[in-house]
Structure 1
């Protein structure tokens, strides 16, 4: 039976074990894998001769999400911080059916599982302090999760001395201090 609406597509993913969060156009689906979470925001559109399923996909991890929350200082529920994004992948089908959704879900899982998270975290740790956008926050989180007390102590000392190390303005001394606390906790657990 063809699926002709976005709610029907969402329900087809849910029938496969995906969890829905949000409502209306903000609705997204996620599936927890052993070491990561894959999320997707599906959109469906009708063409004269076919249907287009457009998928905005990302990968997050509970570990990074919790680290992000700790460093950011937010009290929100798990934020599902996108570590890897793939936006707007389009799949054209004569009809979108539950079988098509099952095939797309399998592709999403394969795509999400194919990323080396250790290499990704190492990349975040190696970012320069003058990185832009969300990268500086990801940098602090990755250092905290690695337990890099030495580097974060150096950052905090510099901030306290008035040297922002070229970090973007939204990175605060408090964020650096929270990243250091995370690093200390991580290092203690490793001992």
Structure 2
């Protein structure tokens, strides 16, 4: 990829992220809770948002969560037992994908999906879309901005320690 391609992707990502965050800020203000973000996502997408913790051996080690748009709900699966900071950033990343419209619609319902649940298949169903650098760049930047905007009440001591370890401070 040439430098020109990178600058195009970067400016397109910046535009998309600004538009999405402007919408969030218009409704929720500059600081909001995770619950408020869930409600905003449901209203924006006009779909129910389901978030579940999973502890499946077949979920690859480098994947902390994924999202999929089912016939009846937007679905986010999060690896069970990950630290609170990583859980929040993973949810924010997946919400970023949903708000940016990175998913194809699948015609099975949540009940059907859960009946024959296969994390490996689910993680990569949207393959070409989700592996696209542009899509990941948008989701990564949205994740950062969303986490920075989350109300401090949801950030506990262990999260503060993780944040400090990387040279930052939550507030």
The alignment's TM-score, normalised by the length of structure 2, stands at 0.31
Bigger radius of gyration among the two = 1
Higher relative contact order (CA 8 A, sep 6+): 2
- Structure (1 or 2) with the greater helix fraction: 2
Which of the pair is proportionally richer in strand? 1
